[in-house]
Amino acid sequence: MIYNFVEYLKIELPTEKIFTNTKEIQVPERVVFVKENGGDIQPWFGYTQKIIQIITRDIDAVRARELSYSVKNKLHDKFGLILPAVTVNSILYGSIQSAQITAEQEPQSIGYDENGNAEYSTNYKIIFRRD
C-alpha cells in the first residue's frame, strides 16, 4: 500500500523528489519523505487503517511549510481515491481504492536536519477495505 500511496503522490506532485521509508540517504535539499508508521486491522468493519508520516524538507522554512501544505491539499479528506498500481523490485502492487485519507493534524515544524534544512511533518490515516 505504501508504494501505491507514493505513486499517487508522484503523479500529483510531478516536480517533487519523493522517497519511501527512508530518510538516511543523500538527497536534494527539497524533498518529501513518506514513511509507514503502523496501522490497525479492524475485522469487525472489514477495513484496514494505516498511518503514514510525511516529512517535507527545504532549505527555507517557509518553502518547507508550503510544500507540506501542498501535500496536505492533495490528500486530506479524500474519499474513494484510487492509489495506482506500481511495480517495485519486479513486484506488482495492484491499485487500491481507499475509503478515506485524512490528515491527523496540521503540518508541524520538527526543526532542522543536520545540514540546516527546515523540516515539517504530518501524519495521515488511510482507511481501505481488506481483501
* pTM of the model as a whole: 0.89
State pLDDT tens for residues 70-96. 999 999 999 999 999 999 999 999 999
Percent of the chain residues topping a pLDDT of 70: 92
Which residues span the domain enclosing 39?
A: 2-129
Distance CA 37, CA 40 (A): 11
Residues 35, 23 contacting (CB under 8 angstroms): yes
CATH number, position 43: 3.30.2000.10
| 46 — pLDDT class (breaks 50, 70, 90) | confident
Q: Mention every residue, 6+ apart, whose C-beta is less than 8 A from residue 92.
A: 85, 86
> What pLDDT is stored for residue 1 in this prediction?
86
Give yes or no for residue 27 having a pLDDT over 80.
no
Q: How many domains does the structure of the chain reveal?
A: 1
> What pLDDT is stored for residue 37 in this prediction?
85
Query: Hey, what amino acid is at 1?
Result: M
